[in-house]
């Protein structure tokens, strides 16, 4: 039996430097770079298997797709699919976990190092001729913060959080962790604390928790008020973990502090985003997961999910 496979927003996993050919043996497949909400119904109507990244598949839509048997989310987060409706409709839903841990951890430290070493600011200073203006053989445009001996607080201790902790240890940092599912005895070199204590004691806080109903906007005015006045906040997890207006106010009141965000509450954010224009806030466009090696692993795992499903269906 051959299946009709439709990829609704394939450009994110594969902007053109990888291939989806692993899907070929399983049926006819169509790849769309992007699919607008008003196009989903028409493009998905005949599909047996849908592959989506951020396209939303809600209850009303799922019940209009009688041929649909499987959804593969080419990402870790599953909040764009109504899982309960899919179950009621007899549609199997799979996601991909762990593929991006090295890539996201790498970007996390790229953001940390930009906040502590200000490499780009010093580069532009040199390009603008300031090194040749009587400053001697060495100068800085802002203080450089050493990481060794500093405290790194990690909220969320899945594969990415563990990878970030390992890198932090390599820099000589002390590691604090907030985790609801990890046995502290398994990680004797790390200290497990409450979330308020993590914010009180950390010099750098890195968010790696999944978004749930109970932690939306958990980083708000109350929690930010516990931070050290020169602490740095990193978010490469989910934008809605942070109350962005509260963060703006905190950053404006603490010019020696900083934030570096790869995710925002609304993506793309629009021109009037409250954090735009702050000198102590860095924003990158949800790119932490995009290393080619990570995206290849992602596509390989998507194909594996489809392969297993097709094999099971054909053996019935």
Establish whether 38 is a catalytic residue.
Answer: no
Rounded average pLDDT over 185-190:
96
For the stretch 268-313, pLDDT in tens is 999 999 999 999 999 999 999 999 999 999 999 999 999 999 999 9
Instruction: Calculate mean pLDDT across residues 111-120.
Output: 97
Q: Which of 26, 118, 238, 295 is catalytic?
A: 238
Residue 109: CB partners within 8 Å, gap ≥ 6?
164, 167
**What pLDDT score does 134 carry?**
86
pLDDT for position 1: 79
Q: Are 124 and 205 in contact, with CB atoms under 8 Å apart?
A: no
**118-141 average pLDDT score:** 94
- Whole-model pTM? 0.93
Q: How far does CA 287 lie from the centroid of its chain?
A: 8
> Cα–Cα distance between 282 and 261 in angstroms, integer?
6
Does 315 have pLDDT greater than 90?
no
Q: Note the CATH architecture for domain 3-99+292-314.
A: 3-Layer(aba) Sandwich (3.40)
CATH class of 101-283: alpha beta
Could you tell me how far CA 277 lies from the centroid of its own chain? 22
Angle between helices 119-127 and 101-117 (to 10 degrees): 50
Question: Is 301 one of the annotated active-site residues of the chain?
Answer: no
* Residue of 43, 89, 273, 286 marked active site: 286
Asked if 286 is an active-site residue, the reply is: yes
Domain with CATH 3.40.50.720 in the chain: 3-99+292-314, 101-283
Percent of all residues in the chain with a pLDDT value above 90, rounded to a whole number: 95
User: For the residues 75-101, what does the mean pLDDT come to?
Assistant: 95
Across the chain, mean pLDDT equals: 96
pLDDT digits (tens, 9 = 90+) for 39-78: 999 999 999 999 999 999 999 999 999 999 999 999 998 9
Judged against a pLDDT cut of 90, whether residue 168 lies above it is answered with: yes
Backbone region of residue 152 per phi and psi (left: phi > 0; alpha: psi in -120 to 50; beta: other values): beta
Q: Using an 8 Å Cβ cutoff, are 56 and 80 in contact?
A: yes
Percentage with pLDDT > 70 across the chain: 100
Question: What integer pLDDT is reported at residue 85 of this predicted model?
Answer: 97
Question: Cβ atoms within 10 A of the Cβ of 60, count?
Answer: 10
What pLDDT is attached to residue 316? 78
- Choosing from 33, 56, 88, 267, which is the catalytic residue? 267
**Residue 95: is its pLDDT beyond 90?**
yes
């Amino acid at each position: 039996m051959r299946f009709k496979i439709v990829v609704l927003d394939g450009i994110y996993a594969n902007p053109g430097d990888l291939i989806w050919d692993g899907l070929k043996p399983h049926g006819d497949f169509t790849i769309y770079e992007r699919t607008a909400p008003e196009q989903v119904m028409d493009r998905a109507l005949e599909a047996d298997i849908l592959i989506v990244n951020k396209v939303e598949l809600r209850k009303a839509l799922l019940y209009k797709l009688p041929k649909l048997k499987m959804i593969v989310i080419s990402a870790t987060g599953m909040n764009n699919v109504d899982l309960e409706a899919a179950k009621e409709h007899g549609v199997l839903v799979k996601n991909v976990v762990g593929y991006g841990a090295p890539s996201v951890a790498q970007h996390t430290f790229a953001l940390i190092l930009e906040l502590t070493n200000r490499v780009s600011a010093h580069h532009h200073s040199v390009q603008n001729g300031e090194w040749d203006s009587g400053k001697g053989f060495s100068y800085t445009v802002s203080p450089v913060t050493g990481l060794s001996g500093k405290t790194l607080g990690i909220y969320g201790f899945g594969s990415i959080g563990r990878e970030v902790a390992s890198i932090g240890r390599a820099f000589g940092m002390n590691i604090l962790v907030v985790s609801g599912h990890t046995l502290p005895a398994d990680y004797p070199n790390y200290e497990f604390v409450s979330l308020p204590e993590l914010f009180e004691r950390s010099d750098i806080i890195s968010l790696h928790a999944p978004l749930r109903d109970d932690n939306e906007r958990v980083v708000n005015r109350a929690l930010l008020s516990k931070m050290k006045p020169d602490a740095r906040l990193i978010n490469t997890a989910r934008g809605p973990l942070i109350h962005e207006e509260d963060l703006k106010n905190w950053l404006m009141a603490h010019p020696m502090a900083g934030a570096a965000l790869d995710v925002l509450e609304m993506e793309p954010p629009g021109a009037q985003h409250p954090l735009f224009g702050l000198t102590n806030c860095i924003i990158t466009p949800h790119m932490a997961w995009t290393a080619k090696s990570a995206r290849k692993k992602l596509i390989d795992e998507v194909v594996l999910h489809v392969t297993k499903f097709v094999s099971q269906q054909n053996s019935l």
